[in-house]
Protein backbone atom coordinates (compact mmCIF):
# COMPACT_ATOMS: atom_id res chain seq x y z
CA UNK A 1 0.00 0.00 0.00
CA UNK A 2 1.32 3.45 -0.89
CA UNK A 3 1.66 6.09 1.79
CA UNK A 4 -1.09 8.02 0.01
CA UNK A 5 -3.55 5.15 0.33
CA UNK A 6 -2.76 4.67 4.02
CA UNK A 7 -3.22 8.36 4.75
CA UNK A 8 -6.49 8.50 2.81
CA UNK A 9 -7.71 5.54 4.85
CA UNK A 10 -6.85 7.35 8.07
CA UNK A 11 -8.55 10.55 6.91
CA UNK A 12 -11.75 8.89 5.72
CA UNK A 13 -12.02 6.66 8.78
CA UNK A 14 -11.99 9.70 11.06
CA UNK A 15 -8.51 9.12 12.48
CA UNK A 16 -6.74 12.06 10.87
CA UNK A 17 -3.66 13.53 12.50
CA UNK A 18 -1.26 16.09 11.02
CA UNK A 19 1.01 13.21 10.04
CA UNK A 20 -1.69 12.25 7.52
CA UNK A 21 -1.55 15.59 5.70
CA UNK A 22 -0.25 14.78 2.22
CA UNK A 23 2.26 16.66 0.09
CA UNK A 24 2.36 16.17 -3.66
CA UNK A 25 4.94 17.43 -6.12
CA UNK A 26 3.35 18.43 -9.42
CA UNK A 27 6.07 17.80 -11.99
CA UNK A 28 3.67 17.77 -14.94
CA UNK A 29 4.72 21.07 -16.46
CA UNK A 30 5.51 19.47 -19.81
CA UNK A 31 1.78 19.02 -20.35
CA UNK A 32 1.40 22.77 -20.77
CA UNK A 33 4.80 24.38 -21.02
CA UNK A 34 6.78 23.07 -23.97
CA UNK A 35 10.58 23.27 -24.02
CA UNK A 36 10.78 25.68 -21.07
CA UNK A 37 8.62 23.52 -18.83
CA UNK A 38 11.48 22.32 -16.61
CA UNK A 39 12.27 25.84 -15.46
CA UNK A 40 15.47 27.86 -15.64
CA UNK A 41 18.85 26.34 -14.93
CA UNK A 42 19.95 28.42 -11.97
CA UNK A 43 23.60 28.73 -10.99
CA UNK A 44 24.61 29.04 -7.33
CA UNK A 45 25.26 32.76 -7.80
CA UNK A 46 21.67 33.26 -8.94
CA UNK A 47 22.38 33.79 -12.62
CA UNK A 48 20.39 31.85 -15.21
CA UNK A 49 22.02 29.53 -17.74
CA UNK A 50 19.16 28.73 -20.10
CA UNK A 51 16.46 26.17 -19.35
CA UNK A 52 16.83 22.69 -17.95
CA UNK A 53 16.54 19.73 -20.27
CA UNK A 54 14.07 16.89 -20.00
CA UNK A 55 16.85 14.73 -18.53
CA UNK A 56 17.55 17.32 -15.84
CA UNK A 57 13.83 17.49 -15.09
CA UNK A 58 13.63 13.71 -14.77
CA UNK A 59 16.63 13.71 -12.45
CA UNK A 60 14.97 16.33 -10.24
CA UNK A 61 11.88 14.11 -10.03
CA UNK A 62 14.02 11.14 -9.05
CA UNK A 63 15.71 13.18 -6.33
CA UNK A 64 12.36 14.14 -4.79
CA UNK A 65 11.13 10.54 -4.87
CA UNK A 66 14.37 9.34 -3.26
CA UNK A 67 13.98 11.95 -0.52
CA UNK A 68 10.79 10.07 0.46
CA UNK A 69 8.83 12.97 1.96
CA UNK A 70 6.21 13.69 -0.69
CA UNK A 71 3.30 11.28 -0.87
CA UNK A 72 2.40 11.73 -4.54
CA UNK A 73 4.49 12.51 -7.60
CA UNK A 74 2.43 13.90 -10.48
CA UNK A 75 4.06 13.62 -13.91
CA UNK A 76 3.17 13.31 -17.58
CA UNK A 77 2.49 9.86 -19.00
CA UNK A 78 5.64 9.95 -21.14
CA UNK A 79 7.84 10.87 -18.19
CA UNK A 80 6.24 8.19 -16.02
CA UNK A 81 7.16 5.64 -18.67
CA UNK A 82 10.84 6.65 -18.49
CA UNK A 83 10.84 6.86 -14.69
CA UNK A 84 9.36 3.38 -14.44
CA UNK A 85 11.92 2.01 -16.89
CA UNK A 86 14.61 3.43 -14.62
CA UNK A 87 13.04 1.92 -11.49
CA UNK A 88 12.27 5.24 -9.84
CA UNK A 89 9.21 4.02 -7.94
CA UNK A 90 10.45 0.49 -7.28
CA UNK A 91 10.11 -0.21 -3.53
CA UNK A 92 8.98 3.39 -3.00
CA UNK A 93 6.03 4.51 -0.87
CA UNK A 94 5.59 7.55 -3.12
CA UNK A 95 2.53 7.15 -5.35
CA UNK A 96 3.04 8.03 -9.03
CA UNK A 97 0.19 9.80 -10.79
CA UNK A 98 -0.21 11.19 -14.30
CA UNK A 99 -2.03 14.22 -15.64
CA UNK A 100 -4.96 12.63 -17.43
CA UNK A 101 -6.02 15.74 -19.36
CA UNK A 102 -4.67 19.13 -20.31
CA UNK A 103 -7.33 21.78 -20.82
CA UNK A 104 -6.32 24.60 -23.15
CA UNK A 105 -5.97 27.17 -20.36
CA UNK A 106 -2.85 25.42 -19.04
CA UNK A 107 -1.04 25.88 -22.37
CA UNK A 108 0.27 29.26 -21.20
CA UNK A 109 3.89 28.14 -21.14
CA UNK A 110 4.04 27.90 -24.93
CA UNK A 111 6.01 30.72 -26.52
CA UNK A 112 3.90 33.12 -28.62
CA UNK A 113 0.76 31.23 -27.58
CA UNK A 114 -2.68 32.77 -27.84
CA UNK A 115 -4.65 30.11 -25.97
CA UNK A 116 -4.49 30.71 -22.23
CA UNK A 117 -6.59 33.89 -22.32
CA UNK A 118 -9.39 32.15 -24.23
CA UNK A 119 -12.11 30.30 -22.36
CA UNK A 120 -10.93 26.83 -21.35
CA UNK A 121 -11.68 23.95 -23.73
CA UNK A 122 -11.39 20.28 -22.66
CA UNK A 123 -8.57 18.26 -24.20
CA UNK A 124 -6.79 15.03 -23.30
CA UNK A 125 -3.80 13.15 -24.71
CA UNK A 126 -4.07 10.25 -22.27
CA UNK A 127 -4.71 6.65 -23.32
CA UNK A 128 -5.68 5.24 -19.94
CA UNK A 129 -5.24 1.49 -20.67
CA UNK A 130 -1.76 2.17 -22.02
CA UNK A 131 -0.85 4.26 -18.97
CA UNK A 132 -2.22 1.70 -16.53
CA UNK A 133 -1.40 -1.62 -18.19
CA UNK A 134 0.88 -0.87 -21.13
CA UNK A 135 -1.79 -1.93 -23.64
CA UNK A 136 -4.44 -0.17 -25.70
CA UNK A 137 -7.12 -2.35 -24.18
CA UNK A 138 -7.26 -3.56 -20.60
CA UNK A 139 -9.44 -5.05 -17.90
CA UNK A 140 -9.65 -4.20 -14.20
CA UNK A 141 -7.86 -7.43 -13.17
CA UNK A 142 -4.82 -6.88 -15.43
CA UNK A 143 -1.55 -6.07 -13.61
CA UNK A 144 -0.71 -2.38 -13.22
CA UNK A 145 2.55 -1.69 -15.04
CA UNK A 146 2.33 2.12 -15.04
CA UNK A 147 -0.02 3.71 -12.55
CA UNK A 148 -3.70 3.51 -11.68
CA UNK A 149 -3.97 7.16 -10.60
CA UNK A 150 -4.41 10.35 -12.58
CA UNK A 151 -5.32 13.99 -12.20
CA UNK A 152 -8.40 15.15 -14.09
CA UNK A 153 -8.79 18.91 -14.41
CA UNK A 154 -11.70 21.25 -15.08
CA UNK A 155 -11.81 25.03 -15.30
CA UNK A 156 -15.05 26.73 -14.28
CA UNK A 157 -15.77 29.99 -16.13
CA UNK A 158 -19.35 30.68 -15.01
CA UNK A 159 -20.32 30.35 -18.65
CA UNK A 160 -23.02 27.85 -19.53
CA UNK A 161 -21.60 26.63 -22.84
CA UNK A 162 -18.00 26.33 -21.64
CA UNK A 163 -18.83 24.79 -18.28
CA UNK A 164 -21.25 22.29 -19.79
CA UNK A 165 -18.53 21.14 -22.21
CA UNK A 166 -16.11 20.72 -19.29
CA UNK A 167 -18.62 18.72 -17.27
CA UNK A 168 -19.54 16.47 -20.19
CA UNK A 169 -15.87 15.76 -20.87
CA UNK A 170 -15.51 14.77 -17.20
CA UNK A 171 -18.46 12.38 -17.56
CA UNK A 172 -16.73 10.71 -20.52
CA UNK A 173 -13.47 10.43 -18.58
CA UNK A 174 -15.18 8.80 -15.59
CA UNK A 175 -16.87 6.28 -17.86
CA UNK A 176 -13.56 5.36 -19.50
CA UNK A 177 -11.68 5.20 -16.20
CA UNK A 178 -14.38 3.14 -14.54
CA UNK A 179 -14.12 0.38 -17.13
CA UNK A 180 -10.54 -0.44 -16.11
CA UNK A 181 -10.51 0.67 -12.47
CA UNK A 182 -8.38 3.76 -13.09
CA UNK A 183 -8.59 6.11 -10.10
CA UNK A 184 -8.44 9.88 -10.22
CA UNK A 185 -8.38 13.07 -8.24
CA UNK A 186 -10.20 16.15 -9.45
CA UNK A 187 -8.64 19.55 -10.01
CA UNK A 188 -11.00 22.50 -10.36
CA UNK A 189 -9.41 25.75 -11.48
CA UNK A 190 -10.64 29.29 -11.01
CA UNK A 191 -12.02 30.96 -14.15
CA UNK A 192 -9.33 31.87 -16.66
CA UNK A 193 -11.50 34.63 -18.11
CA UNK A 194 -13.11 37.64 -16.46
CA UNK A 195 -16.29 36.93 -14.49
CA UNK A 196 -16.76 40.12 -12.49
CA UNK A 197 -16.53 38.09 -9.28
CA UNK A 198 -13.97 38.67 -6.55
CA UNK A 199 -11.71 35.86 -5.32
CA UNK A 200 -13.87 35.08 -2.30
CA UNK A 201 -17.02 34.73 -4.42
CA UNK A 202 -15.13 32.56 -6.90
CA UNK A 203 -14.20 30.24 -4.04
CA UNK A 204 -17.84 29.71 -3.14
CA UNK A 205 -18.79 29.33 -6.82
CA UNK A 206 -16.26 26.50 -7.13
CA UNK A 207 -17.57 24.87 -3.94
CA UNK A 208 -21.10 24.83 -5.32
CA UNK A 209 -19.96 23.52 -8.69
CA UNK A 210 -18.01 20.69 -7.06
CA UNK A 211 -20.87 19.63 -4.80
CA UNK A 212 -23.42 19.89 -7.62
CA UNK A 213 -21.21 17.98 -10.06
CA UNK A 214 -20.43 15.14 -7.67
CA UNK A 215 -24.01 14.80 -6.38
CA UNK A 216 -24.80 12.59 -9.35
CA UNK A 217 -21.65 10.48 -9.09
CA UNK A 218 -21.60 7.13 -7.29
CA UNK A 219 -18.79 6.15 -4.92
CA UNK A 220 -17.02 3.94 -7.46
CA UNK A 221 -16.56 6.87 -9.85
CA UNK A 222 -15.87 9.70 -7.42
CA UNK A 223 -12.46 11.37 -7.12
CA UNK A 224 -10.18 10.23 -4.30
CA UNK A 225 -9.63 13.86 -3.39
CA UNK A 226 -9.83 17.40 -4.75
CA UNK A 227 -7.23 19.92 -5.86
CA UNK A 228 -8.54 23.49 -5.73
CA UNK A 229 -7.20 27.02 -5.27
CA UNK A 230 -6.97 28.52 -1.79
CA UNK A 231 -9.38 31.35 -2.59
CA UNK A 232 -10.12 32.14 1.04
CA UNK A 233 -10.05 30.40 4.42
CA UNK A 234 -13.85 30.52 4.52
CA UNK A 235 -14.23 28.77 1.16
CA UNK A 236 -11.78 25.99 2.07
CA UNK A 237 -13.34 25.50 5.49
CA UNK A 238 -16.86 25.41 4.05
CA UNK A 239 -16.06 22.65 1.57
CA UNK A 240 -13.90 20.67 4.00
CA UNK A 241 -16.65 20.60 6.65
CA UNK A 242 -19.60 20.09 4.29
CA UNK A 243 -18.89 16.43 3.56
CA UNK A 244 -16.14 14.41 5.29
CA UNK A 245 -15.94 12.09 2.25
CA UNK A 246 -14.70 15.02 0.14
CA UNK A 247 -10.98 15.21 0.87
CA UNK A 248 -9.88 18.73 0.00
CA UNK A 249 -6.44 19.55 -1.35
CA UNK A 250 -5.01 22.93 -2.33
CA UNK A 251 -2.95 23.78 -5.39
CA UNK A 252 0.10 26.00 -5.20
CA UNK A 253 -0.53 28.48 -7.99
CA UNK A 254 2.28 30.90 -8.78
CA UNK A 255 5.74 30.52 -7.26
CA UNK A 256 5.35 33.44 -4.85
CA UNK A 257 7.70 33.99 -1.93
CA UNK A 258 9.01 31.26 0.32
CA UNK A 259 6.75 32.67 3.04
CA UNK A 260 3.77 32.22 0.71
CA UNK A 261 4.68 28.54 0.32
CA UNK A 262 4.90 27.86 4.04
CA UNK A 263 1.83 29.98 4.86
CA UNK A 264 -0.23 28.11 2.30
CA UNK A 265 0.48 24.65 3.72
CA UNK A 266 -0.01 25.97 7.26
CA UNK A 267 -3.31 27.71 6.57
CA UNK A 268 -4.60 24.98 4.28
CA UNK A 269 -4.22 22.38 7.02
CA UNK A 270 -5.68 24.73 9.62
CA UNK A 271 -8.87 25.29 7.61
CA UNK A 272 -9.48 21.66 6.76
CA UNK A 273 -7.47 20.81 3.64
CA UNK A 274 -5.64 17.50 3.83
CA UNK A 275 -3.27 17.85 0.88
CA UNK A 276 -0.98 20.40 -0.71
CA UNK A 277 -0.19 19.81 -4.39
CA UNK A 278 2.51 22.25 -5.43
CA UNK A 279 4.21 22.65 -8.80
CA UNK A 280 6.02 25.94 -9.37
CA UNK A 281 6.45 26.59 -5.66
CA UNK A 282 8.69 23.51 -5.49
CA UNK A 283 10.13 23.38 -9.00
CA UNK A 284 11.27 27.02 -9.07
CA UNK A 285 12.74 27.06 -5.56
CA UNK A 286 16.48 27.55 -5.13
CA UNK A 287 16.74 24.31 -3.15
CA UNK A 288 13.60 22.19 -3.66
CA UNK A 289 14.51 19.32 -1.34
CA UNK A 290 15.12 21.70 1.57
CA UNK A 291 11.83 23.45 0.82
CA UNK A 292 9.92 20.15 0.83
CA UNK A 293 11.48 19.09 4.13
CA UNK A 294 10.46 22.39 5.71
CA UNK A 295 6.95 22.16 4.26
CA UNK A 296 6.57 18.89 6.13
CA UNK A 297 7.86 20.48 9.34
CA UNK A 298 5.45 23.41 8.98
CA UNK A 299 2.49 21.05 8.57
CA UNK A 300 3.63 19.07 11.61
CA UNK A 301 3.93 22.37 13.54
CA UNK A 302 7.59 21.67 14.26
CA UNK A 303 8.37 25.16 12.93
CA UNK A 304 6.24 28.24 12.24
CA UNK A 305 6.02 29.53 8.65
CA UNK A 306 7.97 32.70 9.39
CA UNK A 307 10.73 30.79 11.16
CA UNK A 308 10.82 28.22 8.36
CA UNK A 309 11.76 30.99 5.92
CA UNK A 310 14.73 31.89 8.10
CA UNK A 311 15.79 28.23 8.33
CA UNK A 312 15.51 27.97 4.54
CA UNK A 313 17.72 31.00 3.97
CA UNK A 314 20.26 29.68 6.45
CA UNK A 315 20.38 26.43 4.46
CA UNK A 316 20.92 28.37 1.23
CA UNK A 317 23.78 30.28 2.82
CA UNK A 318 25.38 27.06 4.07
CA UNK A 319 25.16 25.63 0.54
CA UNK A 320 26.61 28.78 -1.02
CA UNK A 321 23.42 29.50 -2.96
CA UNK A 322 22.35 33.09 -3.61
CA UNK A 323 18.63 33.45 -2.81
CA UNK A 324 16.25 34.92 -5.38
CA UNK A 325 15.05 37.44 -2.81
CA UNK A 326 16.64 39.00 0.26
CA UNK A 327 15.38 37.45 3.50
CA UNK A 328 13.35 40.55 4.34
CA UNK A 329 11.44 40.29 1.06
CA UNK A 330 11.09 36.51 1.25
CA UNK A 331 9.41 36.85 4.65
CA UNK A 332 6.53 38.78 3.07
CA UNK A 333 3.13 37.28 2.34
CA UNK A 334 2.26 38.40 -1.18
CA UNK A 335 -0.77 36.23 -1.98
CA UNK A 336 -3.94 38.08 -0.97
CA UNK A 337 -5.88 35.01 0.16
CA UNK A 338 -3.23 34.36 2.83
CA UNK A 339 -2.97 37.89 4.18
CA UNK A 340 -5.81 37.72 6.67
CA UNK A 341 -3.49 36.47 9.41
CA UNK A 342 0.16 36.21 10.38
CA UNK A 343 1.86 33.14 11.79
Q: What is the pLDDT of residue 100?
A: 98
- What pTM does this model have? 0.95
**CB contact set of 44 (below 8 Å; sequence gap of 6+):** 319, 320, 321, 322
Q: What is the pLDDT of residue 33?
A: 86
* Domains of the chain, start order: 3-338 (3.20.20.70)
Q: What is the pLDDT of residue 138?
A: 79
Phi/psi at 45 (5° precision): -85, 5
> 309, 301, 298, 300: which is closest to 334 by C-alpha?
309
Q: What is the pLDDT of residue 343?
A: 46
Q: What is the pLDDT of residue 341?
A: 59
Cα angle for residues 169, 170, 172 (degrees, 5° grid)? 65
For residues 28 and 251, the answer to whether their CB atoms sit within 8 Å is no
Q: What is the pLDDT of residue 29?
A: 93
For residue range 173-212, list pLDDT tens digits in order.
999 999 999 999 999 999 999 999 999 999 999 999 999 9
> 43, 60, 67, 63: which is closest to 320 by C-alpha?
43
Weakly modelled stretches of the chain, pLDDT under 50: 342-343
Amino acid sequence: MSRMDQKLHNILSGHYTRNDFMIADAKDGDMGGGVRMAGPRRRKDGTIDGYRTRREYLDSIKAVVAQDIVDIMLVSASNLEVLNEEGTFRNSLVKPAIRANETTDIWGGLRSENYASAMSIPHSSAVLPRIMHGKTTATPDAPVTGTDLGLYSMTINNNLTADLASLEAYIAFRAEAGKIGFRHFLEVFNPNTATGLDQNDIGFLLNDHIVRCLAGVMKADRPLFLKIPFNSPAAIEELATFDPTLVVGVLGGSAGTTRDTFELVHQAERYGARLALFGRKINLAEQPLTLIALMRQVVDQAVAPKDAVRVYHAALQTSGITPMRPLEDDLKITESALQHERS
